Amino acid sequence: MTALTQPVRFADVGEAADLAAFLARLIHYDKAAAVRLQAGGGALAVFGRPASFEVLAIRTARLAQQQETFDVTVSAGELLEAIDESAGGAVVPAAVTGPPWAGVLPPRGGWQQVPGLPGSQAVRRFVSGAVAEFRAQVEELEPEKRTRSELDRIGRVIWSRPVGDTELPVRAAHAAQSVGFLRPESELALLSAGAWLRLRTPYGSIAVRRAGLGALSVTPT
């Protein structure tokens, strides 16, 4: 069905607060951000694309009870405004025309764990090192050479590097940290399904396609 002012009630106020925090981070990177919502089985899955990272961020919120299923793309800002954290509920706003990425989501099943992913502290060090290297290389450029194409070129090299002995690009880990998924002492897992890789944390997941990574703009913000 198309969800127009569809009411939802979360399992507790913490679920509502965590979802609101996730939406606020998405809007920080893109004020016009959209999210795709899929409700069913007592849970609401929220898919967003943090600007500049070229990944999908996935946050799941538990619902208070089995509710009618729906699948709709909405404005992240309107959904954030519609969340009542104190009451633990929300009203899903009217649907919007979804961006292209909203039609290409990772598979629901068939995921298998992939070995080689370091622990959370090591992954965070990969991200910190990449951020520092990117900034250092940009600072070394003469002002007139700090063009978008040159920044993208530097970013493409740094942010496409793998994390540890995996195919996961560092930019996926950076995205996880930026949206609040990669926290100290988080238990992490790397999963694979077809062309997709998924970095799973207790707070949400980051999914990225393995094919064509080198052709993407990966300049961090």
Mean pLDDT in order along the chain per 10 residues (221 residues): 70 96 95 95 94 93 85 96 95 93 93 95 94 94 90 91 94 95 93 96 95 40 35
Instruction: Please check whether residues 84 and 128 belong to one and the same domain.
Output: no
> Are the C-beta atoms of 46 and 71 separated by less than 8 Å?
no
- CA distance linking residue 21 with residue 11, whole number of Å: 16
Domain with 160, as residue range(s), is 112-215
Question: Which tokens belong to 144?
Answer: 């007139």
- CA distance linking residue 161 with residue 182, whole number of Å: 18
Instruction: Please check whether residues 119 and 157 belong to one and the same domain.
Output: yes
Instruction: Please check whether residues 174 and 203 belong to one and the same domain.
Output: yes
Last residue of a domain, one of 54, 70, 100: 100
Instruction: Please check whether residues 165 and 86 belong to one and the same domain.
Output: no
The answer as to whether 42 is a domain residue is yes
99: left (phi over 0), alpha (psi -120 to 50) or beta: beta
Q: What is the pLDDT of residue 212?
A: 47
Q: How far lies 29's CA from each of 99, 106, 127, 161, 188, in Å? A: 16, 22, 18, 22, 24
The answer as to whether 160 is a domain residue is yes
Q: What is the pLDDT of residue 53?
A: 87
Q: What is the pLDDT of residue 218?
A: 40
**CATH label of the domain that carries residue 76:** 3.10.150.10
The answer as to whether 105 is a domain residue is no
- Sign, Cα dihedral of 22, 53, 34, 29: positive
Q: What is the pLDDT of residue 21?
A: 96
Instruction: Please check whether residues 141 and 64 belong to one and the same domain.
Output: no
Instruction: Please check whether residues 116 and 206 belong to one and the same domain.
Output: yes
Instruction: Please check whether residues 93 and 120 belong to one and the same domain.
Output: no
Last residue of a domain, one of 100, 124, 139: 100
The answer as to whether 106 is a domain residue is no
Instruction: Please check whether residues 61 and 140 belong to one and the same domain.
Output: no
Instruction: Please check whether residues 163 and 94 belong to one and the same domain.
Output: no
Last residue of a domain, one of 79, 100, 121: 100
Total domain count, the chain: 2
Q: What is the pLDDT of residue 68?
A: 73
